[in-house]
Amino acid sequence: MKSNNMVLTSVLALFLVSAGSALASQETQASPFAGLAAGGAHSAILQKLAGLKLSDDQKTAIAGILKDSREDMQATLKYYVAARENQFGVIHEATFNEQAVRDACRVTAQYEEELAVVRARTVSRIKQALTPEQQARLLETRGLVKERIVSRIELARTILDSWIEANSAE
């Protein structure tokens, strides 16, 4: 059971980190989600931009874009993390309640949708500040990130499958 929870938690953590922001300072360490947002979406964007050899003018423009989106991202993320915490709690209640799980998932999905819109708006604005060559390199980076995510999910799935096989009655 402990290994199973670890695998599921790892997959959930991977998902949440992709939607993160600098909200960690507002989370308490008692929360299972505390610290997941450290660095967050803006940090991920900065990692992708690091290899693009931005000019000083581009850095200034992109810093302004990130500053403009930071408040929306952090506010939305605050509610998203709270919704995820609630969803986690509902899933792990002593008694299964399908309707409560569905309701909690709908709330979480609303905030996930808003986060996606904020990220897409920010990325679209950043792309306008990049040269065509930089945009192409950014696209390549996105492909590498996708491969890494798929690889991690496959690893988690393999670990879970191995655990099931090792512990199932045959």
Report which of 73, 142, 71, 152 is spatially closest to residue 112, judged by C-alpha positions: 73
d(CA 43, CA 127): 16
pLDDT of residue 169: 85
How confident is the model over 116-148, as pLDDT tens digits?
Answer: 999 999 999 999 999 999 999 888 888 888 888
Question: How far apart, in whole angstroms, are the C-alpha atoms of residue 170 and residue 166?
Answer: 10
Using one digit for the tens of pLDDT, what is the confidence trace for 40-63? 555 677 777 888 889 999 999 999
Residue length of the chain: 170
pTM for the model stands at 0.64
The H-assigned helical ranges of the chain are 2-18, 40-50, 56-91, 98-128, 132-167
| CA dist., res. 128 & res. 132, Å (int) | 9
How far is residue 44 from each of residues 56, 91, 93, 154, measured CA to CA in Å? Answer: 20, 29, 33, 22
**For the segment 71-109, what is each residue's pLDDT rounded down to a tens digit?**
999 999 999 999 999 999 999 999 999 999 999 999 999
